[in-house]
Amino acid sequence: MQEQNRTFSTFLHRTDHLASVLKCQIGDLPEVLGVGRRTLFAGRKTDTEVSAKTWHKLEAAERAAGIGVDPEPEEDDPPCHSVPDDLHDRIARMETLLLRIAEKLDIPIEP
């Protein structure tokens, strides 16, 4: 991702868009992203720098939601060759959250 795209306004816009696509509230995103509430809301403010790890989690959530993002890593970001130990737990939490949202919106889920 290009350096100029890693601004608070981009993070704000992209988290708003992700919540819109998932049809959930911003307050539900920490569970979806696998970050703390403080991390999410601090990143949405102008005076806080969003870490590379948080950007990667946002990009992963966007891909899972079907949102197209630029997969090109930044030059100074180390390559990620390992899968986090809690990845399966995060995916399970995300699936549970999406099912709850679909149920609240009366959206039928096909197996």
Distance CA 78, CA 105 (A): 40
State pTM to two decimals.
0.57
Do 6 and 72 meet the contact criterion of CB atoms below 8 Å apart?
Answer: no
Residue 71 has pLDDT above 90, yes or no: no
Residue 85 has pLDDT above 80, yes or no: no
Over the stretch 8-61, which tens digit does the pLDDT of each residue have?
Answer: 688 889 999 999 999 999 999 999 999 999 999 998 887 778 899 999 999 999
By C-alpha distance, which of 86, 28, 32 is closest to 57? 32
Query: What pLDDT does 78 receive?
Result: 57
Mean pLDDT of 85-111: 83
